[in-house]
Chain A
């Protein structure tokens, strides 16, 4: 394995363990950076060490000791150095990765800082990479991370996995960050494609890690399932010109069957053994879509039922909107339209867009055109705008 690959795979894990030993994120980052720099010089000359990860940890720990020495020689520091020197660590401790992610996703940090810090430390992405993915200037992103680290230090945000009574709430915050990272990569309407794909695979990697370390937490499994099932379809969602292809029209032969099989099995596991969670239910819905051989084979009745369960636990007009569409497909567009009429979602373009689609299917083209215009007045994403404009042109052509 070359150094770059090693950095990619091990950076976050090594850093997590170093932070526990050094007890400061910034110091640990600096030390690890120096260790990698030293490796870049030494390994080509002397040949790679037998255990590269252990080499990096030891080198970084020694760099951290040097840093402490350079900074001050006060009695307290001398004691810290002695403690640090006494700690023999030669492999990353998996629990440390969990500690790090809970610290990065602490609710007392701003959500955008949680995302940035997680990608920077746990995933080892560079500040430039994260800035590019989120379309913010690198300086802004760097400052976001600096501020977050300063708050962790100043407010003593612990480097611990929360205790049982707080775990559910804190884990929900972690999963939100992971899903945010995924969605940022998945809604591929702007920005470089490569970095966005990378965000999706990082999110999946984080979820795999969480599943491994917290096997009893079914929502981790649910989220992993959901992301795998979405990711399996990623390449078919747009055509060669970057135009949106609806789920109905996607080329199902190009879906990633292995991912779908894994996602569907995980979704099933996430649903079992207790009341279903939000991600498990969404994953189950995604699995029903992904396992239908043709669009016409989709089990819309069961999807509508799952949305009803979801709305019962997490009432939201957006879920009601999705349920209305599923009901329309299962029981007829008229039923769906009646449900849509009862939903209040001001400013949300998908509501008139869903109405427009059902009216179009019913052949009520003049009304459909009005609804497409209402949706176009609200949409902000360019690809979505072009899609709605195409549909508007289609229904208008039939009217005139």
Chain B
């Protein structure tokens, strides 16, 4: 069973952190990713660039419109993702709660990936 961990973060809060603290979280993040690679759960993952670099496509009145920015104007924005292979939701949640951005105001959404079941 595969789960997508969608890591959201409040960018303004993130940039407001002291450099030392940000570096510390990033280091813990590296350790976290190495951990799930080593344990065999890791399938894919990546960190996204800031929402300032984002472009959204959407159909409006039958025409495809390209706009600057993310699709939803919320305080928290998608900042990265991990695709993991787990036995069940509990295992996925146990991994998700180790994500270091949680303690600096981040949120993690855990969603099963359809059709990726291996049992």
Contact = CB atoms under 8 A, between A and B. Distances in A.
A108 B89 contact: yes
B94 A155 contact: no
B94 A156 contact: no
Given A157-B90, A158-B87, A162-B90, 12 more contacts: A106-B89, A108-B110, A154-B112, A155-B110, A156-B1, A156-B87, A156-B88, A157-B88, A158-B88, A158-B89, A158-B90, A160-B90
Interface string A382-397: 0000000000000000
Given A155-B112, A156-B1, A166 B94 contact: yes
Contacts of A160: 88, 90
A155 B111 CA distance: 7
Nearest to A160: B90
A108 B93 contact: yes
Interface string A157-185: 11010100010000000000000000000
A166 B88 CA distance: 15
Nearest to A153: B112
Contacts of B110: 108, 155
B100 to A, nearest CB: 19
Q: How large is the interface on B (under 10, 10 to 19, 20 to 34, 35 or more residues)?
A: 10 to 19
Nearest to B119: A156
B19 to A, nearest CB: 34
Nearest to B91: A158
Among B1, B87, B90, find the residue whose CB has the most chain A CB atoms closer than 10 A: B90
A154 B90 CA distance: 13
27 contacts: A106-B89, A108-B89, A108-B93, A108-B110, A154-B112, A155-B89, A155-B110, A155-B111, A155-B112, A156-B1, A156-B87, A156-B88, A156-B89, A156-B112, A156-B117, A157-B88, A157-B89, A157-B90, A158-B87, A158-B88, A158-B89, A158-B90, A160-B88, A160-B90, A162-B90, A166-B90, A166-B94
